[in-house]
Amino acid sequence: MKNQKVAIVVDSTAYIPPDLVKKYHIQVIPLILSWEGKSYLDDVDITPTEFYERLSTAKEIPTSSQPTPAQFFEFFSNIANKAESIVGVFISDELSGTLDSAHSAAEMMPDYPIEIIDSRSTSLGLGFLALAGARAAEDGMSSKEVANIVRNLVESVRLVFAVDTLEFLHRGGRIGGAQRLLGSILSVKPLLHLQDGRIEPLESTRTKKKAIQGLLDRFENETRNKEGVHVAVIHANNPKEGQFLYDKVTSCISPVELFIAELSPVIGTHVGPGTVGLSYYVEP
């Protein structure tokens, strides 16, 4: 007998706290980091600490890739032995081929119910969507009902971040609409966000301090006097500014939940060390 009605599946960029992964039986499929001829499962074979330490002296910038359709098929098949259905929530299709692989695998299992959702986000933008789905699944909803709740929340989730340099986004081909800032790559500290799943510029500032203030101003404007705010602080080997953001958030609102997460190697290789940001949404 299958012991779970709906299994929630995410990729390794969701950064859901381990206790919540365990509580809701969330299944995580790792993305892949390729570096100097070797492949590593994201946050499994190489941790953020190991990654950022090695990156600081590396001559070669690593690349990332998604699991193959065959790997997804094996992953889904193992879950199908324990759950009646799957709702998969994955990194934006604009940032990764993960969604395509998941769709291909789902097509190999036509008689098993699988809902595949483009989060249009990553990091805890993706994580918050999956958690909303996991809570709906725990309440006994069907896979279609869970998927509808997640899809209806996609437009509400924000991910805003400041990078030390656009160099990593440019090298990794994930720069999106921020391409137009490249001419001043050395003289700006851009504030970026995900819009329709793409990285787009919000503001160009001359210092990281001003970028972070711009981030906080936007957050405060969008959450002021609101109930049901969910927030996550994200950082890439930057605990000091991460803690600064965490303290600022707690001083201005009382969120329903507040997480802090370090970006895994796969995302860290694209945004670069020093990145800091917020993901958040207000309950409808």
For 124, 134, 221, the CA distances from 90, given in Å and listed in that order, are 11, 14, 28
Residue 4: name the closest of 80, 74, 82, 75 by CA.
82
- Given the DSSP bridges, would you call strands 27-29 and 7-11 parallel, antiparallel or unpaired? parallel
CB-CB contact of 75 with 27 (8 Å): yes
| DSSP secondary structure of the chain | ---BS-EEEEETTS---HHHHHHTT-EEE--EEEETTEEEEBTTTB-HHHHHHHHTT-SS--EEEPPPHHHHHHHHHHHHTTBS-EEEEES-TTT-SHHHHHHHHHHT-TTS-EEEEE-S--HHHHHHHHHHHHHHHHTT--HHHHHHHHHHHGGG-EEEEE-S-SHHHHHTT--GGGGGGGGGTTT-EEEEEEETTEEEEEEEESSHHHHHHHHHHHHHHHHTT-SSEEEEEEESS-HHHHHHHHHHHHHH---SEEEEEEPPHHHHHHH-TT-EEEEEEE--
Domain ranges in the chain are 7-31+66-153, 157-282
pLDDT digits (tens, 9 = 90+) for 173-221: 544 444 444 444 556 778 899 999 998 888 888 888 999 999 999 999 9
Please give the pLDDT value at position 169.
Answer: 66
CB-CB contact of 122 with 13 (8 Å): yes
What is the CATH T-level fold of the domain 7-31+66-153, as seen in this structure? Rossmann fold (3.40.50)
Q: Tell me which of 3.30.1180.10, 3.20.20.150, 3.40.50.1460, 3.90.1150.30 is the CATH number of domain 157-282.
A: 3.30.1180.10
Question: Residue ranges of the chain with pLDDT lower than 50?
Answer: 172, 174-184
CB-CB contact of 36 with 259 (8 Å): no
Task: Return the amino acid letter for 271.
Answer: V
Please give the pLDDT value at position 236.
Answer: 96
Please give the pLDDT value at position 171.
Answer: 65
Please give the pLDDT value at position 199.
Answer: 87
